[in-house]
Amino acid sequence: MPTLIRRAIACAASALALGALATSFAPAAQAAAISDGVVKIGVLTDLSGVSSDNAGKGSVLAATMAIDDFAKDHKVLGAPIELVSADSQGKTDTGATIAREWYDRDKVDMITDLTFSNVALAVDRIADEKKKIALVTGAGSSAISNEQCTAHSVQWMYDTYALANSTSQALLRRGLKSWYFITADYAFGQALEKDASEILTRQGGKVVGSVKHPVNSPDLSSYLLRAQTSGAQVIALANSGTDTLNTVKQASQFNMIQGSKQVFTPLLSLITEVHGMGLKNAQGMILTNGFYWDQDDRSRGFAQRFYAQHKKMPTMMQAAVYSAVLNYLKAVQAAGTDDADAVMAKLKTMKIDDPVIRNGQIRADGKLVHDMLLVQVKTPAESKSEWDLYKILETIPADKAFAPLAESKCALVKK
């Protein structure tokens, strides 16, 4: 065989071998871009407190579903995806301790849910310090993505401004201008009352009084009687979870809802709470939500799969966990790494549109703005099934639901 031909064959064989070698190392090279060789996600939720029905085990399930939907083999960039969960108990120190252990010892890359605002604010600061990621899906205080924003967190589903703004405008249009607040005495309740009060007074409404109650109060009768005697047209509930559920049930026992001239409006009420109140008590209430299971085919598809395992329809908090985990993994894939800065940069360029979020975009302040829903609770006669609880009155565009970026006090926003 001529020398030139032998050399050509040898070169071709070498090229094929190198190509095969490169292909065999491709997954390993991808996995090397993942710190510690694994992408670990933590769901820090409320498994035992007032919001356990709104988040809790349902949030863990939603995260599991997102991982399943992202990749059947539970891998991203060739690295395995792992999920851990824990109960913050609604305590700042407990939540902070778990977050530090997860980030430092257990090499968790991203923490989500963070049901309570006090816990979320603490964990956001820790995530920023450790250069890790926190995607807040449960906590609503507007400070999270406003005065106390950080470069490594996103407030994913809602904030107190969006809830207060949409609901108050709807009731003001109906001529209901005088308001009294029954408020849970912690960061979320205080922020919700503050935002609602400012919006009301700016638009010609009036706050005639307010009262604060401890979280997880079994007896709310004295607070209800103060609200009743105030003469306010609207009694607004700036609380959440079982506190909201108990407030409405006890108000019904005092005949303060049906047949009363005063209008009850929970500024945050999730579908599990309305289900617990019963349509007889909750009918006619106007609420703002970021997600409703029966909105369209995509939301129904996700919700029905969730229901098959959880036996309850997802709340907007639980649905938000699904969206946050799914899009986080997409951002890791697109960035080619789980480095927090690279992933956050990628998230802020992505359009967030999935079975939960519509027309979503993460702003410079770390607020995910998206379409919100103004809903009214159905009457028993209107409801066709156990979880057929809302009629959608209006889809509120993102730029109308959330506070303008120009008004942000977040240090990340360039003025």
| Residue 360 DSSP code | B
Question: CB–CB of 144/161 below 8 Å?
Answer: no
Rounded CA-CA distance 306/314 in Å is 7
Classify residue 284 by burial, with Cβ atoms within 10 Å: 0-12, 13-18, 19+. middle
Question: CB–CB of 365/414 below 8 Å?
Answer: no
Q: SS3 for 155?
A: strand
Could you give the residue range(s) of every CATH 3.40.50.2300 domain in the chain? 36-158+293-365, 161-289
Angle at 306 between CA 301 and CA 307, to 5 degrees: 100
Write the pLDDT tens digit of every residue in 26-70.
Answer: 444 455 589 999 999 999 999 999 899 999 999 999 999 999 999
Give residue 255's pLDDT: 84
pTM summary value: 0.89
DSSP string covering 65-123, please? HHHHHH-TT-EETTEEEEEEEEE-TT-HHHHHHHHHHHHHTS---EEEE--SHHHHHHH
Give residue 31's pLDDT: 53
Question: CB–CB of 134/124 below 8 Å?
Answer: yes
Q: Residue 270: which of 106, 93, 46, 103 has the closest Cα?
A: 46
Q: SS3 for 373?
A: strand
Q: What percent of the chain is modeled with pLDDT above 70?
A: 92
Give residue 348's pLDDT: 97
Rounded CA-CA distance 300/310 in Å is 15
What's the CATH superfamily of 36-158+293-365? Response regulator (3.40.50.2300)
Please enumerate in sequence order all residues whose Cβ is within 8 A of that of 52, keeping only pairs 6 or more positions apart, or say none: 45, 46, 241
Residue numbers of the chain with a pLDDT score lower than 50: 1-29
Give residue 415's pLDDT: 63
Q: Residue 293: which of 356, 351, 339, 342 has the closest Cα?
A: 356
Rounded CA-CA distance 267/50 in Å is 16
- CATH number at 161-289: 3.40.50.2300
Q: Residue 27: which of 93, 66, 75 has the closest Cα?
A: 75
Give residue 359's pLDDT: 95
Rounded CA-CA distance 186/59 in Å is 22
- Joined tokens for residue 141: 């205080």
Q: Which residue has the tokens 């995509």?
A: 298
